Amino acid sequence: MSIGYIVRPRADRDIDDLADSISEHSNLDNALDFLAEVYVTFSLLASQPEMGWPSKMSAPQLKSARTFRVSDRLSDFLIFYQPHASGVEILRVVHGARDLPALFSQPGAFD
């Protein structure tokens, strides 16, 4: 059995958008650090899928999903993921200061 992670297209766009924003408002090195920490955390979640906490969001796509911070240093950024027997499926990566209920209720929020 292979343990790993799958990044949904919407989550992939989230990661790109966040890295672009960090680069624009801070610098390229911080954006690259963000990307590295995101993917290290994905691997960690794949090996320990229950380590996050149950999502409290009411969006149907998040009913059985879990949430985890990107890292201690980047704790404002949240990963929403679905555990599976073979690893995890990354649904979204967002800044925690956003209006998450409104974000997740938009059409296409998980496409």
Per-residue pLDDT, 2: 57
**pLDDT (tens digit, 9 = 90+) per residue, 45-69?**
999 999 999 999 999 999 999 999 9
User: Which is more confidently placed, 111 or 37?
Assistant: 37
Residue 93 in contact with residue 16, Cβ under 8 Å?
no
| pTM for the predicted model, two decimal places | 0.94
In the structure, what pLDDT confidence band is assigned to residue 3 with cuts at 50, 70 and 90?
confident
- 111: in domain: no
Percent of the chain past pLDDT 70, that is, above it, reads 98
- Looking at residue 32, which CATH number applies to its domain? 3.30.2310.20
Boundaries of domain holding 28: 4-105
Give me the DSSP letters along 50-71.
TSSEE-----GGGTT-EEEES-
Residue 30 in contact with residue 23, Cβ under 8 Å?
yes
- 110: in domain: no
